[in-house]
Amino acid sequence: MAKPIIVVLDGIESSFDHAKVERTKLYGSRRRVPLDQDGQTCVKSALTTDGLYLLQTGMTAQGYFDESGRWLQKNQLVGIGADGQALELKPSTLGAPQALAAVSPSTVLDFAIDAVYALDAMTLDAALQARLAAGEVFSFKFKYSADFRLDTAFLLQNNEGIFCLVGTPISPSWAEPGKISAVEDEEESADELNFDMF
């Protein structure tokens, strides 16, 4: 069983068991199963470009090939930031207390929500329970498993229960009436075209 989500508000901890909310659990799913001429289930696979290896589903998830064709395990990979420097691997936040910060409910709209967890309170501070019931939203840092970046999670409650929404910030570009969008210089874009490719 996974470690609990632990949050702290005003020095008091609350912990939650969690279950990921998935579309298939809510609505069910259908799956098409391809069969061969004998009625046996077909298995998806790919042939490498040199024709030497047959890769089946799941094989490429164990590692990667570098530019020279050398196989690298996942634990050998290093995250690189925008500045070209190696990133520090951050541990999972599960089981580790995370500070809560009250945010405006509209803040959630500035994030692309990647995962939703239904929470079951193991221990719940009365003050936090009252504030959630009143419609307050809290943010905290979250990562299910070790990674090079931490996501932002939101703790909130509705009539169905308490939920944790995990997401990454988005910055939409808006178009306004009467405002001309930035257009690339035609001369510069013409220079970039390579007519040999046509």
pLDDT of residue 98: 93
Would you say residue 183 lies in a domain? no
Q: Does 124 lie in the same domain as 68?
A: no
Looking at the DSSP assignment, which residues form a beta bridge with residue 19?
118
* pLDDT tens sequence for the chain (198 residues): 679 999 999 999 999 999 998 877 777 778 888 888 898 888 888 887 888 878 777 766 666 777 777 777 777 777 777 788 877 878 889 999 999 999 999 999 999 999 999 999 999 999 999 999 999 999 999 998 888 888 899 999 999 899 999 999 987 777 777 776 665 555 554 455 454 544
Q: Does 102 lie in the same domain as 12?
A: yes
Would you say residue 27 lies in a domain? no
Would you say residue 196 lies in a domain? no
Would you say residue 40 lies in a domain? no
- Please measure the distance between the N-terminal and C-terminal CA atoms of the chain and give it in whole angstroms: 57
Q: Does 104 lie in the same domain as 161?
A: yes
Q: Does 98 lie in the same domain as 140?
A: yes
Would you say residue 147 lies in a domain? yes
Give the C-alpha separation, 17 to 145, whole Å: 16
Give the C-alpha separation, 86 to 44, whole Å: 35
DSSP letters, 93-135, are -TTS-EE-EEE-GGGGGGEEEEEEEEEEEEE--HHHHHHHHTT
What are the φ and ψ backbone dihedral angles of 61, each rounded to 5 degrees?
A: -80, -10
Q: Does 93 lie in the same domain as 68?
A: no
The CA distances from residue 1 to 19, 63, 119, 187, in Å, are 11, 26, 14, 61
Would you say residue 134 lies in a domain? yes
Q: Does 107 lie in the same domain as 158?
A: yes
- Cβ-defined contacts of 170-175 (< 8 Å, 24+): 170/110, 170/111, 170/112
Token pair of 193, please?
Answer: 């075209």
Would you say residue 82 lies in a domain? no
Domain that holds residue 49: 45-76
Strands 137-142 and 101-103: antiparallel
Structural domain total, the chain: 2
Q: Does 52 lie in the same domain as 12?
A: no
Q: Does 56 lie in the same domain as 132?
A: no
Would you say residue 39 lies in a domain? no
pLDDT of residue 198: 46
Token pair of 2, please?
Answer: 């996974």
